[in-house]
Structure formats: C-alpha cells, structure tokens
Amino acid sequence: MTGERRTEKKTTGERAVGEMKTGELLRTPGAVLARSMCNDAVVLPGEWVARFPRRDLAEARRRTRALDRIGRLGLPFAVPEVVEDRLELPLGEAHVVLSYVSGEQAETASDDAVREVLDALASVEPDDELRALLDEPLRRAGGAQVAETITELVFPLLSEDERGQAAEVLRRFADLPRVAGFVHGDLAPVNLRWHGGRVTGVIDWDFACVGDPALDAAAFAHYGWPLVGRVRPELYERARTHAAMFPLTGAVAALRQDQDPERFLAWFRRRCAVREHPPSS
C-alpha cells in the first residue's frame, strides 16, 4: 500500500466518522460488532474500525500511542492508522477510530511470505520512545509473574494429570533464554491480511512488546510446524515452548478479564490427551 493510498483512506475515514457521536457509530448502516480480549469494536468494512475499551483507559491510551508510533516504522505491510482519538471520554463512550486494513485471511502460507513478515519485525530496533510505549511481554497473563499466575488461576481448574503436564510446560518456559526483539505478540491468522500470496496488512498490535521473536514465529505454526522449521530453524525449539504456553496464558487472560476460559482449557486438554505440547501436526 502506498503512502498516497493510506492518506486517502484516512481522509475517507475522517469524513465517515469524524463528525459522528458515539451512539451514531453503533447505528451506521453496514457496521458490525466485534469483540476482542480488550475491546468491543464497531467495524464498517472497507472504511473504519471504532474500538471501545472495556476497562483501563490509561492502557488504551498507551496502546493507541504505541500503534501510532508503530505505524511510522516503515514496515512493508499496512498497519491501522489512528483516524480519531476519543479516549478522553468516560469508559463506555471512550473509543478510538482506526483505518480499516483490507485483505483476506489465508489457510496456507508460503515460506517467503512468512519470512518477509518476521524479517520486517526483526529489522526494527526499538528506540527509547517506542520501548516506553510497548507492552510488557505477557502482561495480560501476569507478565513477569506469568507462571505464578497460571498456577494460582488455572491449576485449580485442571485434573491432577493435567496439572502435571502444565507444570512441565512452565518448566520449559522458565528455561528459555531472555531475548529482546521487536515482537507483535499476537500474529494469529485473524490478525493477518493477505493479498496475492503476501501479507499486506497486520492488525491488533495491542500486545506488541520487546520480547522473544520466537513468540511471533510460534504464531505461524497455524500453517504447519515444518514451515516454522524452514523459515526460522534457529527459533524452532523456543517457538514450540511459546506455543505450549498459548492455552495457559489465554485461559489466564480470559479469567483476568472476567471471561469464560473454557475454550482455552479445552485446547490445553486436547494436548494433554496426546501428551504433546504442542502437537507436531
């Protein structure tokens, strides 16, 4: 996407949203509701996304400033632009309007496409300004106390055998080296936009942090662990350990947001049934 097209899109978004009240956003013809871990969103496909944080406006403001800074990194794919910031409003009305990043989701991916995304992230050397705006790694799941938080909140929901397997996952995680790179933090397929076999857009940068790049490599295991091994052989084993944590950190994040953790627990139990975290295929 060229700079000219991105500027034009922002102007279109401003015309569509800039003069509207919060209630009117919810009644915009064609708009649909969406829900993520931190936000409720009103999406007008092809135009804009209005995100309403459900709690912690200070964090929402930080994430918005971080997104604006990330958008100026010159990454080779589109990043949502901040069209309008209304986070000074009270919780429930406060929202931020972002440009809509077009593209499709993909069930398959080429090595080159995945390598391009990971290489672009690896090329970023966060300066002090960006570091100050980025999230703490795994903050939504307890941050530096993630193992203790999982033990406190998730272990009581597991069987004795499942707790034993979870403890082994936590041991593997504790043994990981401390590595610091620029990390998106949630490169799930739902956050990638594809066109012509390439990733042309990446959305949802809420969990961007300075952390282990193997975390982002692990997200691409959706397209198969062999792909991860080819694209990032040096990160492969670390990526598998991060992937082993995904159901546990997801369950913690849900519980801390007063949401039902059952889909994450079911995910973990499927792995426990085959005694492989994560399964190789």
% of residues, the chain, pLDDT over 70: 91
pLDDT digits over 202-244, tens only?
Answer: 999 999 999 999 999 999 999 999 999 999 999 999 999 999 9
Adjacent-strand bridge partners of 48? 44, 99
The predicted structure's pLDDT at residue 242: 98
Q: Rounded CA gap, 235 and 227, in Å? A: 12
The predicted structure's pLDDT at residue 13: 42
Q: At what angle do helices 160-174 and 236-256 cross, to 10 degrees?
A: 120
* Intra-chain end-to-end CA distance of the chain, in Å: 34
HSE toward the beta carbon, residue 176, CA cutoff 13 A:
26
The amino acid at 9: K
What average pLDDT does range 73-102 have in this prediction? 94
Res 39 pLDDT > 90: no
Q: Rounded CA gap, 89 and 161, in Å? A: 48
pLDDT digits over 175-193, tens only?
Answer: 999 999 999 999 999 999 9
**pTM here?**
0.89
The predicted structure's pLDDT at residue 14: 42
Residue 56 zone, left/alpha/beta (φ > 0; ψ -120 to 50; rest) = left
Domains by residue range for the chain, with CATH: 3-99 (3.30.200.20), 111-274 (3.90.1200.10)
Radius of gyration of the chain (CA): 19
Asked if residue 223 lies in contact with residue 109, where contact means CB atoms within 8 angstroms, the answer is yes
Res 156 pLDDT > 50: yes
Task: Look at residues 256, 238, 220, 37 and name the one whose alpha carbon lies nearest to residue 111.
Answer: 220
- 109 versus 16: the higher-pLDDT residue is 109
Q: Rounded CA gap, 15 and 227, in Å? A: 43
The predicted structure's pLDDT at residue 2: 32
SS3 225: helix
The predicted structure's pLDDT at residue 93: 87
Neighbours of 195 (CB within 10 A): 15
SS3 81: coil
- 15 pLDDT band, cuts 50/70/90, is very low
Res 6 pLDDT > 60: no
Res 17 pLDDT > 60: no
Please name the residue that has the structure tokens 């009305």.
Answer: 93
Q: Rounded CA gap, 108 and 275, in Å? A: 26
Neighbours of 238 (CB within 10 A): 22
The predicted structure's pLDDT at residue 20: 52
